[in-house]
Structure formats: C-alpha cells, structure tokens
Structure 1
C-alpha cells in the first residue's frame, strides 16, 4: 500500500472525526465568525496531520541502522528483466484508481462549467448602481446571488425595501470573500467525493456563511421579522450555479431559528480549545504503527521466556574484536562488543544473532541457551539463507584482501552514476529461455579491484545456464568504476547483484 493511499485514508478519517466533533459541539452556537475559522482549521489540520511523524529513540536507532548498513553484504538493488513488448496486466486497484479519477474529473469539469456560466452572465448582464452598490442586473426569475466581488440581481422582481436587504446581504458575502470558502469546499468534495463527511462539511460551511450574512443584515438596522418574512416570500428555484452564495439558501427554517436564537455566552468559546487535543489524538493515531513497532521490538526480546546471551567475539588469531555489531535478526535491536570483545543482549531462545565486523564475513548464530558463546570472525565465504556470498578471487598478490565494506565505497561512473540503469538498458531476455518458459532470480557476485575494474564474475545462485550466461554477459559490459578506498588506499570490494527474469 503506497504512501499516497495511506495519506488519503488518514485525511478521510480526520474529516469524519472533525465533522462529528463540529456537529456535537459547535453547530448550535452563535459564534459564526469563529465557526468559520474553525471550519478552515478543520480542513487544514485534516491535510497536515498525516505529515507529522514521530521518532522514537532516534539516536539508538540511527546508530543501529548505520551499523547494519556498514556491515551488511553489498547487495545491489534487484534488476527485473521482461521480454520486449510484454503486456502489463490490469488489476483491481488499477480499475478502482481509474474510476476514482474519472469521477474526480467529472466533478471538476462540473465546477469549470459553472464558472464559465457565471463569466457569461458577467458579460451578458448590465452594470448598474443599486442601493449605492455596483451590481450586475439580469433578466428573468433568477435568485439573487454573489460570486466573489460580483453581485447579480433582477431589480424588476423586488421593491426598494426588499432590494436594500438583498444588496446588503450579498454585499456582506462579497466583502468577506465567502465565495472562497464555497470554492474550496466544492473542490475538496470533487477529490473526496466518496466521503460523506466532506459533503456534510460543505453543507455546514455554506450554512454558516448564510448565518453570518443574516446576522450582519440584522445588525445593519433592518427589522428582523420583516427580513425573515422577506426570505419566506422568495421562492425562485433557479440559480446560475451551485458554487455561488444565494440569497434564499435552504433551509430557511434553520436560518430564521439562528436569527432568533439567544446569543451564546462567551464561556462557550472555551470548547473551541478542544480542537487541540482532538488534533493531538489524530497525530498520535497516525503514528500508532511506529509506537506499536517500538513496543513489539522491546517486548519481543524482554518477555518472560527471554534469556541473556553473553559471549566474546574474536578473530582468526583469537584476538578480541572491539566494536563488533551484534544485531537480532529481523529487528533493529542490537549491541556492540566492548573493549574486551565481549557482549551481552537479552533475547528469546532460538533467536538468531548477526555478528558483523569490517572486512569479516557476517556470522549468523542461533541462541539456544544462556551458555557463554565464542564467535570467531573469518574472511571465508558464508551462506546467508539462500544467498551464497562467494569468496573473492585473488589477483596478483595472494595476500590481497577483498572487502565488503570500506570507508569510501566504489562509485559507478556511467549512466549518471546508476549501475541499475546501465544494466537495465542492456540486458535482454534469452529467446530460448522464453520458449522454454524459464524464469527465476540469478545472483551474481563480482569484485571491483584496486584499479576500479569489474572482475571475477561468478554465479552465486543459478537458475538455468541460459539465464546465467545473460546475467554474466551484461555485467561484463560494465565500464571501470572509481575504486573504493580504505584508510586512503584503493582496495578491492565485492558486490552481489540479483537479476530477476520474469515472463508476463
């Protein structure tokens, strides 16, 4: 599941949580300006909180990760090989993704069409001054509405008193940029059309804007009851578009109730502070996977059946190796040997420990009991599960050492420094292998010597001679690398690359 999909899921969850929270605590008070700010905050936090990531015991985790990277075998990224002109299958997720973006496109197209219709009315209507306000007059029975700074009205339908109330109402929408709220909510509904909470939030946004405009009209000196009767008299169903601020937005009953409602006590403002803990809980829930992972890692090695594994790590001359990495396989938990080459770590019986040291082959040893262990690190080849790390081929001086990790690793100098890009462009699926339906993953080891030359290509894990030969062939095409260095001197470094041959 990719990160974008997870992000969208978290945003949708936040929209649901915040809508329920808004309806429960804020929808009945008369703090319309603060409610507008609250709705903007809800939308903003919903999109931002998934981006807040927790980090636990970062220093310890970074140290362990660096040790893993430093001592792990040099396994290059996998190269996948397909027959030329292969067909890519279409899965369920591809169909769902197509449907999702198809509906998004339709809804966005609907918004564009409405914008075009409003612009046409701007050019079609006549500019006039009505009640000391510049408006665009229209013909026909069209509900008065505003869109940003434009106010549209049919003066022939209303008397002077009604016109003053209409113009005042729509001027408030225009001056306070209420159309911005409407446009943002419409666009978000297009992208989150599958989430009912987004549509309900859009409804709350529009209602609150009307409550706010009604409140300003009444405070401007107009008679409350006369204004309410005026709203009830307007019954024109037609409107230029859904993205505008209409004068007689339904439900009128709700608007009239809000106008007659007693002003909410200022003590009610305190409840808006609850947005902070709600946002905090969402951030915490967003990072629950990291929290659980840390807890599982700790509990996995400190349960009631755990034992303390102790021992000493030495080289082939029985000399203690200081700073050897000791890591529990499959986790980021580990330790390092002290100045005496000794270590101590709490594990469960049967746990596999990975011992790593610069220039030495990794050792994988299971812990069976609490008996003190003695680990001897060698430069001989070792078997890592199914992947064979083949010993190096010496050239010239028989005592020349081949490293797996050095201070400055070799650097590929072609294809913008990407060896994977170089290989992918040149590798071909053998025709005979395709006819015989042969597939599989070939592991090849090679050495970048002191001169940067790729040498000693060997099959570490074979699939079929046809695929093995193609893997060796393409790797032998590599140009010279920039050699790796250890303590300022060029040295030979071994690599392993998996090449995956697949048929579609």
Structure 2
C-alpha cells in the first residue's frame, strides 16, 4: 500500500506540474479538462499494474518472507506486536475516522441540494430547471438545476450572461467532475495533491463557462466588470459550480488571451509523449527487469502470481500467533525463532521446518501454533492455485 501511495503521488505530482507549466495558461480548456481528469485516473490506476506491455514475464517469487513478530512474555502466555503493527493500526484508525467524517460532510452537502430543490419554487428557463431560493444567494448550479435568488429572478435583475454561464456548467456536466474529485478526496484525503487537482478542475470549469459567455455576447469588458461587482460575495457553496469561484487576475486575463494553434498542437503532442514515457516507466515489466530473474520450481513462465492470504488479513495472522503462543517453562532471556512452512494449493499448512530456535521447545511451540491455523486463501500462478513457501521470524523477549 505504501508503495502504491508513493507511485501514485509521484505521478500526480509530475502531471499537475506539467499542467501548471505547459497547459493552464493556454486557451485550450476542453483539452485541459480531459487532461486533468485523465491525469487523476492515470495516476491512480497505473500503479495498480492492472495491465502491462508484455504478455509473458520470467520474474516470479515462490518464497515469501513474513514480517518479524515480536513476542513479549506475560504471566500466562506471550502478547504479540509486530514491527510497526501498532503504528499501522493507529494509522488505519485515523484514516477511517477522517474518511468517515468526509463521507458525512459529502452526504450532508448532497442532502442540502435535495432540500433546496424540494422546498423551493421551480421554473424552466431556456430548457433548464431553475430553483428560486428565498434568501440572497450567488447564482450557482448543481447537476441539472440552476439556483437563483428568487427576488432578483422575478424582478429580472439577473444578467443574461449569468444565466448562460450557469447553463454551460449544466450542459457540459461539470458537476460530475466535482463529484468525482470529491470522492477521490474522501479516499485520498491525506494527499494534498488532490486539492491541487480540485482547484485546477473548478477553475477550468470557469474558463469554459467564461469562454462561452464571451463568444455569445462579445462584450468581454462588460462581463469582467460584472464579475468584479459580484466578487465581494465570497460565500462558497460546496459541490456547486458558482459564478464567483476564484475571480482572479488569471481568470480575467484568460478572457482576452489570444489562441495560438501552433503552440497548442505542440503542447498537445508533448503531453502525449509525457504520458507514454510515464506509462512505460511505471510498467511492471520495466521495473521487474531491475531484479534478478527467478524461474519457478516447475520451470514455467509466470505471467501472474498472487500471494496466499490469511483469513482476515496478515494483521489477523500475527494476532493469531501471538494469542496462541505459550511460553515454554524455563525459558529465559531474549532470542529468535525462525520457521518455514508451505501453503498448499487448498490453503492448508504443511512442511514445517525449524531453522533456528531458543531451545526449551520454542520451535515446536511455534509449529504447534501454526498447525492450529485455519486454511489460507491459496496463492495463484496464472490464476491457478500453487504451493507457496513462507518464512516466519519470531523474536521472543522472555525476561
């Protein structure tokens, strides 16, 4: 998991840097929207190694080394804690708690739109559903609805540019982008790069809407002045596309920026080259070539291999060993036990071997505990069950 986070973060960083340096200031907003969404999907899926360039590889592992278990003596038996186990448990707990809070916030934001749509008057304007809010509110949109302040709407105080602006958000389905990035923010809340992408995506939405408004009304100066007049209302609405989102010098300059087709073509080709290089660089076969070739004992060419799994995960396995291991009588001091065993094709354990122990029956006790283990989910090679050998180091502190 840590390796996945590091790889995906590196890809996210590279691609958002490319966007900031090459694309953000270019008037190629539709391409940039695809780039930003594609970068997120690319960065979060490529490290999963779901596919590769080659159909056959010669690299495989048939012998796995488990993390060391540290056993500390109590009055009856040995309590156990693996290296970094407590830290991992704490990290997982914090992750789940924060994710839960973000899920609750996300659901409440969705529910707030549901209530606004249900409890307020609705009309149709130019084929779009308009929801009239009784309290003063900045024009904004969500899914297929535009939200306006009722008094301004009925008094015809809403400029047609604002209506077109929000209609663009609906037509181009910008809300789906926002919901997508919000879900990613829940899953990867610990990664600040997701916030950079969120900011870039929402700003790109405004570029797209501004571009359409200016093309329709051909009055950039008037539109800029209107935006500055409403910029003082800094109230943001979660999940919504809002007219006053980040009215900055960059956004105003973009409206008058001239388009260079040659530069756009060159940068588009350059981005394609960058994606290709990253795809090749993060290919599992490309990285596997850096490690020595290991041929399976049966002489097969391996194309896919997965490790066996203890029911409930490896943390449950370490707890299982610690809760069942009993201190042999007379054992003193600290030492290490080293056991190997085989996970058979049906998930059962066999071929136990003591490579090292502390005497007093510590090796035999470790084997006794392993024999109590329920069947594992067997390892697979080319989607077929295979026998996999494991090594288990155990450090005992029996003071």
Regarding TM over 0.5, the answer is: yes
Residues 177-192 of structure 1: pairs in structure 2 closer than 5 A = 177-192=173-188
Decide whether aligned partners of structure 1 residues 93 and 281 sit closer, same or farther in structure 2, where only a CA change above 3 A counts: farther
Q: Does 1:138 align with 2:34?
A: no
Q: In the alignment, what sits opposite 1:271? A: 267
Question: Partner of 1:464 in structure 2?
Answer: 359
Tell me the equivalent position of 2:288.
290
1:147 paired residue among 142, 145, 149: 142
* Distance 1:459-1:258 versus aligned 2 partners, 3 A rule: closer
Q: CA deviation at 1:10?
A: 0.8
Q: Which of 7, 11, 19 is the equivalent residue of 2:16?
A: 19
Partner SS for 2:122 = strand
Tell me how far 1:433 sits from its aligned partner.
Answer: 2.9
| Cα distance change, pair 11–476 in 1 and its aligned pair in 2 (3 A) | closer
Match of 1:298 in 2: none
Given that residues 131 and 164 in structure 1 are in contact (C-alpha distance below 8 angstroms), is that contact kept between their aligned partners in structure 2? no
Assess, with a 3 A threshold, how the Cα gap between structure 1 residues 162 and 261 changes in structure 2: closer, same or farther: farther
Structure with bigger helix share is 2
Deviation at 1:435, TM superposition (A): 6.9
- Alignment of 1:104 with 2:107, yes or no, is no
The RMSD of aligned alpha carbons is: 4.6
State whether residues 333 and 397 of structure 2, in contact with CA within 8 Å, keep that contact through their aligned partners in structure 1.
yes
SS at match of 1:199: helix
Aligned counterparts of 1:228 and 1:78: Cα–Cα separation in 2:
61
Q: Which residue of structure 2 aligns with residue 44 of structure 1?
A: 41
Q: Matched residues in 1 for 2:189 and 2:360: separation?
A: 54
1:204 matched residue in structure 2: 200
1:156 to 151, 159, 179: 151
Decide whether aligned partners of structure 1 residues 175 and 502 sit closer, same or farther in structure 2, where only a CA change above 3 A counts.
Answer: same
**1:91 and 2:89 correspond:** no
Tell whether 2:26 aligns with 1:33. no
Structure 1 residue 197 displacement after superposition: 3.1
1:342 aligns to what?
Answer: none
CA distance in 2, matches of 1:141, 1:216: 26
In 2, Cα distance between equivalents of 1:473 and 1:6:
34
What is the match of residue 381 of structure 2? none
Task: Compute the displacement of 1:93 (Å).
Answer: 4.0
**Corresponding residue number in structure 2 for 1:171:** 167
Unaligned runs of 5+ in 2: 299-310, 312-316, 342-349, 374-388
Deviation (angstroms), 1:247: 1.4
Do 2:152 and 2:158's aligned partners in 1 also have CA atoms closer than 8 Å?
no
Q: State the structure with more CA Rg.
A: 1
Q: Tell me which of the two structures has the higher relative contact order, counting C-alpha pairs closer than 8 angstroms and 6 or more residues apart.
A: 2
Which of 248, 257, 262 is equivalent to 2:258?
262
Deviation at 1:36? Answer: 0.9
Deviations 1:185-233 (A, max 9, x none): 2332344344443222211111111111111122234633333322222
TM-score computed with the length of structure 1 as normaliser: 0.56
**Gap change, CA 1:475 and 1:197, over 3 Å in 2:** closer
Q: Distance in 2 between matches of 1:125 and 1:201?
A: 33
Using the size of structure 2 for normalisation, the TM-score is: 0.69
Aligned residue for 1:441?
337
> Which residue does 1:120 correspond to in 2?
115
CA deviations 1:335-369 (Å, max 9, x no partner) are xxxxxxxxxxxxxxxxxxxxx99xxxxxxxxxxxx
Q: Is the CA contact 1:81–1:429 (under 8 Å) kept in the aligned structure 2? A: no
Asked whether the equivalents of residues 132 and 150 of structure 2 are also in contact (C-alpha less than 8 Å), the reply is yes
Alpha carbons of structure 1 residues 428 and 105: separation in structure 2 relative to 1, 3 Å: closer
Within 2, Cα distance between the matches of 1:496 and 1:28? 54
- Kept after mapping to 2: 8 A contact 1:145/1:153: yes
- 2-structure distance, mates of 1:206, 1:166: 17
User: How many angstroms apart in 1 are the aligned matches of 2:266 and 2:68?
Assistant: 59
Cα shift readout 1:285-310 (whole Å, capped 9, x = no counterpart): 4357534335xxxxxxxxxxxxxxxx
Cα separation, 1, equivalents of 2:52 and 2:158: 57
Instruction: Give the SS at the match of 1:226.
Output: helix
* Counterpart secondary structure, 2:135: coil
- Please give the alpha-carbon distance, in whole angstroms, between the structure 2 residues aligned to 1:263 and 1:76: 58
CA distance 1:226–1:78, shift in 2 (3 Å)? closer
Following the alignment from structure 1 to structure 2, what is the Cα–Cα distance between the partners of residues 47 and 30? Answer: 27
CA distance in 2, matches of 1:474, 1:248: 65
Q: Quote the offset at 1:111 in angstroms.
A: 2.3
Distance 2:139 2:179 in 1: 18
Residue in 2 that maps onto 1:411: none
- How many residues align? The count is 345
Distance 1:204 1:107 in 2: 21
CA contact (8 A) 2:109 2:239 kept: yes
| 113-122 or 429-438, larger mean C-alpha shift | 429-438
